[in-house]
């Protein structure tokens, strides 16, 4: 980027004191902005429009699907007074914290394993990634069959008889989280592996010369240098986990307090249509996810800046 | 270097994989058959029978042979009822004439008619009413007006193992006694039904509630007759059945197909299911089940008569159709033509609505039982807010029968949902 900039500056002829002449048409910065305008315009249209539209709809009153007029923030107060919303928020957060935590630990283990040189590494890498390639709905249906009493694969494998995993309060959540960890730990592993491969090997070599053992190398070299990749992985997974829909929908249908925020949104948008309330709920969901995303990105940004200063 | 290359390859493969998935999710954009050329009709219907090779396709073909001027094409909707409804709603909300005929679940009549999406069929009422089943006809009416022509119906059966039970039970208490005894003796579950948290659970719950003498609305759906006391007893009965082992393990996670799988592999003494399972168990079931099972009417609490919830599909004419006359002709024909209605039964084991077909097919055990059960079958109210009520029932009653909530409180919130529906 810096290279390109200097080059074009020489082309347009540097002014006195390295300043660009402002008289010559569009400035370089302006030109740059001009060039990215179509891309940004498209992004606004695709990404921002639905968000704004949902907000607009959330301010309207509906009976069924019929528009009744302006409602102000009534839909929001209805949403916030709905027990269903709070129950689903609680489940979504529980689900997110536990599943992302477990995925991180298991994913890191996988990544470290895949980063080692050993025979059969290629096959191991491919095998670990299989769950992530399977579409979530199919994985969910598969785990439903695994956990359900009938055919009951897990029960027969563990000799548990007719244990009703998906029909017992508490165990249902375990099953859903388990399926999610199985499905997405490979994704975390993939991101962390990419991070691991950017760490130069000579750092490890000199550490070894200095007499650092494996644990010290992991704690003082791998983890700090892996930080940006860890943040990216956690950010992606957290945002995705907060939006979870298909896993609980297919595995439980929302039974035993496993209804996620997205499932409640879907209910009000599709099943028992109230577009105003549905949009209010989805705007709230969006705000929560955006807030958490912003926290992550600001942490990530600082991390990157500090990293650069060190060099 | 080599490492990064391999990693890059995977990322590419993974990205390609997700692209394929994304592409599969994008609705295909072929709009063939929905062109608004004068005589053409589009029939928007979903489910297995609307797929190529299904009986709906055969019916469309038959119509096209007889009516070359108004050929009909099927717009196949998804399998899931909620998604069918959503797709139809999108088209109707836009006041588009893309769909002329709407295949509607019996519980959508009120909602669609209230939204002004349907053409009234009151002028052809006389052509339909005398020849079709009363319950099916009721499900096509809302607010005293006829909005659709009944197409096929459905009712619940009690499936039981003849090698484990001598006589089918006539009361639910009897059933539970038999289920526990025979189940324990043979190391299998008792009754399997539709106990998962979804519409099917509401259907099962209603069958217990109705058979205990409960009602939902009065004759013309203007007054709520929901009885919280009977509702509480119903939920307590289910709770008890869960605890005692009258219900087979996995009752509370089963839909129709999980129930069928459990029964046909010999894991339950009894099953509550729709007629479609009758043929399938004979074809696919373990031999010890396939050769040793029979069907009976569902029991009641008093031992008198039988009660079943009514399912099925009706065909309605879209208010935005550009070819309403031909569309009307089609829905009446599909409802009352003996050949069409017989095809439903013989080609697809889908219960027809035309009464004469039942007389004709008396020798088929499932048809014979249907003609016994259907006169007493009750439709779920086709109220505009039925889905809201149903979701409320699922939210309140499911935890209650699983011991996570108080049955009396649950009945009260269901009562509130019903009362709101008539205000």
Q: Number of CB pairs < 8 Å for A and B?
A: 90
Report the residue from A129, A151, A254 with minimal CB separation from B14.
Answer: A129
**CB contact B81 to A (< 8 Å):** no
Q: B293 φ, ψ to 5°?
A: -140, 160
CA distance B315 to B104: 6
Burial (CB count within 10 angstroms: exposed 0-12, middle 13-18, buried 19+), residue A212: middle
Interface test with A, best of B250, B402, B420 (most A CBs within 10 A): B250
Mean pLDDT of chain A: 87
CB B193 within 8 A of CB B323: no
Q: DSSP character for B118?
A: B
Cβ distance B11 to A190 less than 8 Å, yes or no, reads: yes
Residues A13-67 pLDDT 10s:
444 445 555 556 778 888 999 999 999 999 889 988 999 999 999 999 988 778 8
CA distance A212 to A205: 10
**CB contact A273 to B (< 8 Å):** yes
Nearest Cα to Cα of residue A180 among A251, A257, A87, A235: A251
Cβ distance B196 to A135 less than 8 Å, yes or no, reads: no
CA distance B353 to B359: 12
Q: What is the DSSP string of A84-114?
A: HHHHHHHHHHHHHHHHHHHHHHHHHHHHHHH
Write the Ramachandran bin of B132: left for phi over 0, alpha for psi from -120 to 50, otherwise beta. Answer: beta
Report the residue from B7, B196, B249 with minimal CB separation from A255.
Answer: B196
ipTM reported for the complex, 2 dp: 0.81
Length of chain B: 423
Would you kindly state where each structural domain of chain A is located, as residue ranges?
Answer: 75-310
**CB contact B395 to A (< 8 Å):** yes
Nearest Cα to Cα of residue A103 among A13, A1, A182: A182
**CB contact A66 to B (< 8 Å):** yes
Report the residue from B3, B252, B258 with minimal CB separation from A150.
Answer: B258
Q: How far is A272 from chain B (nearest CA, A)?
A: 5
Residues of A in contact with B391 (CB under 8 A): 267, 271-272
Would you kindly state where each structural domain of chain B is located, as residue ranges?
Answer: 41-154+311-379, 156-309+382-422
Report the residue from A64, A133, A167 with minimal CB separation from B253.
Answer: A167
Choose which CATH entry (2.40.160.10, 3.20.20.70, 3.60.20.10, 3.40.190.10) describes domain B156-309+382-422. Answer: 3.40.190.10
Nearest Cα to Cα of residue B231 among B409, B93, B387: B409
Q: Are strands B268-273 and B189-192 parallel, antiparallel or unpaired?
A: parallel
Helix (H) or strand (E) holding A194: helix A171-196
Residues of B in contact with A113 (CB under 8 A): none
CB-side neighbour CA atoms (13 Å) of A123:
3
Determine the Cα angle at B415 with ends B419 and B383, to 5°: 50
Task: Give counts: helices (H), strands (E), chain A.
Answer: 15, 2
Q: Residue A191's closest chain B neighbor by CA? A: B11
What string of pLDDT tens digits covers the 423 residues of chain B? 344 444 444 444 444 444 333 333 333 333 334 444 458 999 999 987 888 888 999 999 999 999 999 999 999 998 778 789 989 998 998 999 999 999 999 999 999 998 899 999 999 999 999 999 998 999 999 888 999 999 999 999 999 999 999 999 999 999 999 999 999 999 999 999 999 999 999 999 999 999 999 999 988 778 999 999 999 999 999 999 999 999 999 999 999 989 999 999 999 999 999 998 998 899 999 999 999 999 999 999 999 999 999 999 999 999 999 999 999 999 999 999 999 999 999 888 789 999 999 999 999 899 999 999 998 899 898 888 898 999 999 999 999 999 999 999 999 999 999 998 887
CB-side neighbour CA atoms (13 Å) of A50:
6
Residues A89-119 pLDDT 10s:
999 999 999 999 999 999 999 999 888 878 8
User: Quick check: bond before A151 cis, omega within 30?
Assistant: yes
Residue A102, CA distances (Å) to A98, A108, A225 in order: 6, 10, 21
Cβ distance A162 to B250 less than 8 Å, yes or no, reads: yes
Residues A206-218 pLDDT 10s:
999 999 898 999 9
Report the residue from A132, A148, A254 with minimal CB separation from B197.
Answer: A254
Q: Which residues of A271-299 are buried (b: 16+ CB within 10 A; e: fewer)?
A: bbbbbbbbbbbbbbbbeebeeeeeebeee
CATH number for the domain running over B41-154+311-379: 3.40.190.10
pLDDT of residue A23: 57
CA B183 to chain centre: 29
3-state DSSP call for residue B152?
Answer: strand
List, in order, residues 6 or more apart from A61 with CB less than 8 Å away: A67, A68, A69, A70, A71, A74, A75, A276
Report the residue from B21, B114, B254 with minimal CB separation from A135.
Answer: B21
Q: Are strands B308-317 and B377-379 parallel, antiparallel or unpaired?
A: parallel
3-state DSSP call for residue B164?
Answer: coil
**CB contact A150 to B (< 8 Å):** yes
Residues of A in contact with B404 (CB under 8 A): 169, 256
Looking at CATH, the fold of the domain delimited by A75-310 is given as MetI-like fold (1.10.3720)
Report the residue from B114, B249, B388 with minimal CB separation from A162.
Answer: B249
Helix (H) or strand (E) holding A52: helix A49-58
CA distance B8 to B19: 16
Cβ distance A122 to B398 less than 8 Å, yes or no, reads: no
Cβ distance A150 to B261 less than 8 Å, yes or no, reads: yes
pLDDT of residue B313: 94
Cβ distance A64 to B114 less than 8 Å, yes or no, reads: yes
Nearest Cα to Cα of residue B125 among B143, B139, B141: B141
Cβ distance A271 to B21 less than 8 Å, yes or no, reads: no
CB B112 within 8 A of CB B118: yes
Q: DSSP character for B315?
A: E
Q: What is the DSSP string of A119-143?
A: TTHHHHHHHHHHHHHS-HHHHHHHH
């Amino acid at each position: 980027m810096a290279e390109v900039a200097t080059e074009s500056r020489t082309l347009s002829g540097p002014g006195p004191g390295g300043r660009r002449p402002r008289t010559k048409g569009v400035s370089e910065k302006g030109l740059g902005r001009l060039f990215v305008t179509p891309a940004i315009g498209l992004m606004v249209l695709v990404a921002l429009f639905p968000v704004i539209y949902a907000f607009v709809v959330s301010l309207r009153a509906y009976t069924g699907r019929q528009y009744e007029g302006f409602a102000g923030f009534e839909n929001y107060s209805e949403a916030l007074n709905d027990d269903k919303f709070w129950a689903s928020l609680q489940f979504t957060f529980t689900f997110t914290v536990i599943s992302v935590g477990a995925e991180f630990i298991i994913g890191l283990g996988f990544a470290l394993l895949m980063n080692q040189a050993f025979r059969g590494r290629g096959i191991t890498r491919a095998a670990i990634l299989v769950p992530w390639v399977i579409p979530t709905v199919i994985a969910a249906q598969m785990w439903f069959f695994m956990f359900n009493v009938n055919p009951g694969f897990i029960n027969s494998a563990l000799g548990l008889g007719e244990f009703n995993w998906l029909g017992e309060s508490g165990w249902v959540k375990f099953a859903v989280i388990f399926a999610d960890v199985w499905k997405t730990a490979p994704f975390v592993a993939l991101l962390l592996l990419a991070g691991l491969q950017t760490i130069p090997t000579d750092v490890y070599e000199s550490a070894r010369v200095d007499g650092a053992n494996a644990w010290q190398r992991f704690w003082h070299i791998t983890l700090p240098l892996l930080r940006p990749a860890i943040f990216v992985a956690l950010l992606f997974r957290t945002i995705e986990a907060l939006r979870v829909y298909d896993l609980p929908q297919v595995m439980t249908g929302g039974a035993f307090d496993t209804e996620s925020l997205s499932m409640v949104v879907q209910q009000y948008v599709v099943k028992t249509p109230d577009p105003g309330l549905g949009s209010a709920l989805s705007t709230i969901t969006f705000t929560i996810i955006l807030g958490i995303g912003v926290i992550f990105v600001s942490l990530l940004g600082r991390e990157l800046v500090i990293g650069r200063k060190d060099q | 270097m080599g490492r990064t290359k391999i990693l890059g390859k995977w990322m590419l493969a993974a990205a390609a994989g997700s692209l394929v998935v994304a592409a599969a999710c994008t609705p295909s954009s072929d709009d063939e058959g929905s062109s608004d050329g004068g005589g053409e009709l589009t029939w928007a219907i979903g489910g297995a029978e609307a797929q190529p090779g299904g009986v709906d396709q055969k019916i469309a073909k038959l119509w096209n042979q007889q009516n070359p001027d108004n050929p009909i094409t099927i717009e196949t909707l998804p399998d899931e009822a909620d998604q069918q409804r959503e797709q139809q709603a999108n088209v109707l909300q836009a006041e588009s004439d893309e769909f002329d005929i709407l295949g509607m679940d019996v519980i959508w009549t009120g909602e669609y008619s209230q939204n002004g999406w349907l053409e009234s069929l009151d002028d052809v009422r006389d052509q339909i009413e005398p020849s079709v089943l009363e319950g099916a006809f009721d499900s096509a009416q809302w607010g005293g007006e006829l909005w659709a022509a009944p197409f096929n119906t459905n009712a619940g059966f009690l499936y039981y193992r003849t090698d484990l039970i001598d006589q089918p039970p006539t009361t639910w208490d009897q059933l539970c006694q038999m289920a526990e005894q025979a189940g324990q003796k043979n190391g299998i579950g008792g009754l399997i039904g539709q106990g998962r948290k979804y519409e099917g659970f509401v259907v099962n719950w209603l069958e217990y509630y109705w058979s205990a003498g409960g009602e939902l609305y009065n004759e013309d759906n203007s007054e709520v007759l929901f009885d919280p006391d009977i509702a509480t007893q119903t939920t307590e009965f289910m709770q008890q059945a869960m605890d005692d082992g009258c219900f087979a393990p996995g009752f509370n996670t089963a839909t129709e197909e999980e129930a069928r799988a459990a029964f046909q592999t010999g894991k339950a003494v009894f099953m509550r299911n729709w007629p479609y399972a009758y043929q399938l168990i004979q074809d696919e079931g373990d031999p010890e089940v396939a050769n040793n099972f029979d069907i009976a009417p569902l029991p009641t609490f008093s031992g008198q008569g039988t009660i079943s919830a009514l399912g099925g599909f009706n065909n309605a004419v879209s208010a935005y159709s550009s070819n309403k006359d031909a569309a009307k002709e089609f829905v009446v024909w599909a409802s009352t033509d003996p050949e069409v209605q017989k095809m439903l039964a013989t080609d697809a084991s889908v219960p027809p609505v035309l009464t004469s077909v039942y007389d004709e097919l008396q020798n088929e055990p499932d048809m014979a039982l249907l003609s016994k059960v259907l006169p007493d079958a009750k439709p779920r109210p086709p109220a505009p807010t039925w889905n809201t009520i149903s979701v409320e029932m699922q939210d309140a009653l499911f935890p209650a029968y699983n011991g996570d909530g108080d049955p009396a409180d649950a009945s009260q919130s269901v009562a509130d949902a019903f009362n709101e529906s008539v205000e």
